[in-house]
Structure 1
Amino acid sequence: MKRKMLFLLVIVLGVTALSGCGIEREFITPESQGVWNHYFVYPFSWVLTQLAMVFQGSYGLAIVAATIAVRLLLVPLFAKQQRSSHEMKKIQPQMKEIQKKYNMKDQTEAQKYQQEVMKLYQ
């Protein structure tokens, strides 16, 4: 329960802090000041505008197309994460055996445990 409240507090504070970022109310152009506006916001808005022109002015379709493009770019990362997760599930029983084997109350036992875990990972 305490973790949920902390998470909610962090989200609320984050949204509050980020909501004050756009106070100037001027259009974003290639000459806009600030790293965020110049390198992130303007290029993304330009891409959305170009995609909207391709879809005959439909910004909804442009957002969908941009979302699909970003997801396709991230597929290799997702695939690597899935493979890694699957490999960790395979060695989980061996990890539990190693944990049962070592008492880890003193430092030498903990080091032996870490060495065996590293061998298992390799």
Structure 2
Amino acid sequence: MKKKIGLILMLTALSAFLAGCADFQKPITADSSGFWNEFIVWPLVSLITTFKDLLGTYGFGIIAVTIIIRLVLLPLMVKQAKSSKNMQAIQPELAALKEKYKSKDAVTQQKYREEMQRLMSERKINPAAGCLPVLIQMPILIGFYHAINRMNVTPEINLGSFLWFELGVPSISLAILAGLMQFAVLRTGPAMDNPQMKVMMYIMPFMIIGFGSFLPAALALYWVIGNFISIIQNIFIYKPFKKKEVEPVKVGGKRK
């Protein structure tokens, strides 16, 4: 089940990315054709430009739209977090079932799947429930990424400067900040309770720093603000700094 879900997410992300890949380095205008341009990229560009006119700079425009998008997606993020926490809570029982039905013959494995489905049904857990929020978020977040990059190659748009850096050129310092904040996002999220996700905690920050080192600083700014909001969300949703209670170990039927 996990492999199928992972494959679906990978294909969705790849499809969304490739949808705009052909135009990635092309200017974006109101006349740009195609579903991706007309319904995702250009509306995001227009929204950023509107807030730029209201707030004075494209930097503030990007920050404002990033916050709005994250707030709109917040209910989905909470739903995804609850699903993740519920799945994490039954991991010991799933592990026990896997050990009980460790034989690889077809009959045993069928019994294992039935018991696993029964457990999830009793706990009202749908393993696919955590995937829907990701599927909905993916086109929006990738579209925002495309919007900023294509604004940078549109002659009519000058991203200008924000604080001490130019938004249209790479900023190593901002890229490093984005990478450090990505580490904090993973450190405060469910990765700490999942050995497989821990690998991401050490790889993703370096990927962000690497991409941010040669992509426009406007994208690094988007990552910094988005990661800052994610850290706040994680603190409230996952409560990473709350001391976890240690379950008493049963020894001979008694709690020790």
TM-score, normalised to structure 1's length?
0.73
Partner of 2:63 in structure 1?
64
Provide structure 1 residue ranges, at least 5 long, that are not aligned to the other structure: 1-13
Cα distance in 2 between the residues matched to 1:91 and 1:42: 43
Distance 1:33 1:90, change over 3 A: closer
Distance 1:33 1:89, change over 3 A: closer
Q: Which has the larger radius of gyration?
A: 1
Q: CA RMSD in A?
A: 2.4
Shift of 1:115: 0.5
SS at match of 2:103: coil
Deviations 1:12-40 (A, max 9, x none): xx89x93x525665x512x3322222222
Aligned-pair identity (%): 35
Code of the residue aligned with 2:40 in structure 1: it is F
Shift of 1:75: 0.9
Cα distance in 1 between the residues matched to 2:112 and 2:60: 54
State the structure with bigger RCO (CA 8 A, min sep 6), 1 or 2: 2
Partner of 2:23 in structure 1?
21
TM-score, normalised to structure 2's length?
0.37
Partner of 2:36 in structure 1?
36
SS at match of 1:105: coil
CA contact (8 A) 1:51 1:62 kept: yes
Deviations 1:83-109 (A, max 9, x none): 111111211111111111113321111
Distance 1:118 1:23, change over 3 A: closer
Partner of 2:119 in structure 1?
120
- 1 or 2, which has the higher helix percentage? 1
SS at match of 1:88: helix
Which aligned runs of 4 or more in structure 1 are off by greater than 6 angstroms?
A: none
Cα distance in 2 between the residues matched to 1:100 and 1:36: 47
Shift of 1:41: 2.2
Cα distance in 1 between the residues matched to 2:87 and 2:109: 21
Partner of 1:10 in structure 2?
none
Partner of 1:73 in structure 2?
72
Q: How does 1:36-115 map to 2 (within 5 A)?
A: 36-55=36-55, 57-115=56-114
**Which stretch of structure 1 is more off in the superposition, 106-115 or 35-44?**
35-44
Partner of 1:3 in structure 2?
none
Cα distance in 2 between the residues matched to 1:24 and 1:95: 49
SS at match of 1:111: helix
Residue correspondences, number: 104
CA contact (8 A) 1:52 1:58 kept: yes
